[in-house]
Chain A
Amino acid sequence: MPAPHATNHPERKETVTAELSGMADREFRAVDLAAERGERLLFEHLEFKLSPGQLLQVSGRNGCGKTSLLRILSGLSRPTAGEVYWGDEPIRSVDGGTGSCLGYLGHQNALKEDMSAEENILIAGRLGGGRPERETVLAMLGGLGLAGYEDLPVRFLSQGQKRRVALARLLLQPRALLILDEPYAALDVQVIEVLRGAIEAHLTRKGMIIITTHQAVDIDGDCRNLHLG
């Protein structure tokens, strides 16, 4: 199995507006990662480095280990070999756990069906240790085209709308690194544009993003590509 390779896109100009948090100036590194599923080796000797303001797009065929890689990077799974570093510390021993430096959105939206979109986001914000403002949440939901749906229990929303609520929740968490697994799934064109804007804004704030997608979405910023398989 060939080792994955990282390719550099030419750097583009960017403007810095605001720092995210004290942790935002750290690099995110994967060193000699390997993962297997069942008995099958998904990848090995995988290395990359992500600096503040950079985006990493993970691509590859179905079943090549994109989701496994993202779960390892977010500290949810253990790699078969290797280590993920946040600055100089292994990510699993960072103060406050991996969740204090990164936000993760997997295939599941992690929404409570019996609660409204607004409640879901407010509770997730409080769980993360923040004090989310109702107005900010409503503005974010409005921006993602969910104005008028804030008070409805999530079970009445469509798949795409649920995905938008989950994205709104993630974007409202002040985390330096956002890890997004197929964020464009079930989204319509307008929302993809909004999301692109949010990703670009996160990058200009010196945030980092790791994303998997099958769609080519042109993002302005320092983008790198990691091809698996």
Chain B
Amino acid sequence: MFHPLLALLRRDLTLALRRPQDALTVVGFFVVVVALFPLGIGPDPEFLRSLAPGVLWVAALLAVMLSLERLFSDDFRDGTLEQLLLVPEPMGLLVLTKIVAHWLITGLPLVLVSPLLAIQLNLRPDEIAILMLALLIGTPILSLIGAIGAALTLGLRGGGVLIALLILPLYAPPLILGAGAVDAVMHGSSAQAHLSLLGAMMVFALFATPWATAAAVRIMLD
């Protein structure tokens, strides 16, 4: 564990473990939002099943959104973000490492808890498998795109609301493709097209967004 990027990853994960409530609130939010839907729209199992893909995806979007503000703000406040700019590694890679840590702390738990909520909404096992796969490919996109918004709102008042306004429109494509993948299986066709496009989007986000985020961090710290 001597490589600088691994050291950063381990630092972020250690900090998250020492403050588990941060990650737990995100999962808790996801669970509560999904659990509220049957209460609001009634217990008809078929109706719930048809709404399930959209409900689960929108709840996941909002849960990730909730966690974005903390991606850089803690480091910004105590000055460690400034010191990261002086680390002799490309800032894009450092940012990517922080995003990976963010996904491991918030995105992955959402993927893991989603089957339970899917059962609650009456999804079948094959649909649940596609849902998990779509979330596994999709939640990294949410973290990657969200990082740009988190960086652009560093140090601004009301940053959390601003992130939502900046980023939610950009979350539309992964939402459409992710929910669409589960919908496709539900209606008896293949989810391959949706998942392939979602995968392509993740690869593109993986290469493009860390550099945009790094540029935004530099500008906000100038």
Point out the residue from A75, A99, A110, A119 that lies within 8 Å of B79, measured CB to CB.
A110
B84-111, CB < 8 A from A: 84-91
Q: Residues of B within 8 Å of A, CB-based: how many? A: 27
- Check if B2 sits within 8 Å of A112, measured CB to CB: no
- Check if B85 sits within 8 Å of A99, measured CB to CB: yes
Majority DSSP secondary structure for residues of A touching B: loop
- Check if B11 sits within 8 Å of A76, measured CB to CB: no
**B4 contacts chain A at the CB level, 8 A cutoff:** yes
Q: A110 with B222: in contact, given A96-B88, A99-B85, A127-B7 (CB under 8 Å)?
A: no
Q: A109 with B87: in contact, given A115-B14, A127-B7, A131-B2 (CB under 8 Å)?
A: no
Interchain nearest-CB distance for B89 vs A (Å)? 8
Q: A99 with B86: in contact, given A114-B19, A128-B4 (CB under 8 Å)?
A: yes
- Check if B86 sits within 8 Å of A126, measured CB to CB: no
Chain A positions within 8 Å of B79 at CB level: 106-110
Q: A123 with B7: in contact, given A78-B222, A97-B86, A128-B88 (CB under 8 Å)?
A: yes
Q: A126 with B82: in contact, given A76-B222, A114-B18, A114-B19 (CB under 8 Å)?
A: no
Q: Chain A, interface size: which category?
A: 20 to 34
Chain A positions within 8 Å of B86 at CB level: 74-76, 97-99, 102-104
> For the complex, what is the distance from the CA of A76 to the CA of B7, rounded to whole Å?
22
Closest-by-CB residue of A relative to B6 is A126
Chain A positions within 8 Å of B83 at CB level: 104, 110, 124, 127
- Check if A112 sits within 8 Å of B87, measured CB to CB: no
Chain A positions within 8 Å of B14 at CB level: 115, 119
- Check if B222 sits within 8 Å of A77, measured CB to CB: yes
Chain B positions within 8 Å of A119 at CB level: 14
Chain B positions within 8 Å of A113 at CB level: 78
**A129 contacts chain B at the CB level, 8 A cutoff:** yes
Interface mask (A117-151 → B, CB under 8 Å = 1, otherwise 0)? 00100011011110100000000000000000000
Give the A-B pair count, Cβ closer than 8 A.
Answer: 81
- Check if B78 sits within 8 Å of A123, measured CB to CB: no
> For the complex, what is the distance from the CA of A98 to the CA of B88, rounded to whole Å?
7
Of listed A77, A106, A109, A128, residue having the most chain B CB within 10 A: A128
Interchain nearest-CB distance for B19 vs A (Å)? 6
- Check if A106 sits within 8 Å of B82, measured CB to CB: yes
**B15 contacts chain A at the CB level, 8 A cutoff:** yes
Closest-by-CB residue of A relative to B84 is A127
**B23 contacts chain A at the CB level, 8 A cutoff:** no
**B80 contacts chain A at the CB level, 8 A cutoff:** yes
Interchain nearest-CB distance for A81 vs B (Å)? 15
Q: A112 with B80: in contact, given A97-B88, A99-B87, A126-B4 (CB under 8 Å)?
A: yes
Chain B positions within 8 Å of A131 at CB level: 2
Chain A positions within 8 Å of B88 at CB level: 96-97, 99-100, 128-129
Interface mask (B63-76 → A, CB under 8 Å = 1, otherwise 0)? 00000000000000
10 contacts between A and B (CB under 8 A): A78-B222, A97-B91, A104-B82, A110-B80, A112-B11, A112-B78, A115-B18, A127-B4, A128-B87, A128-B88
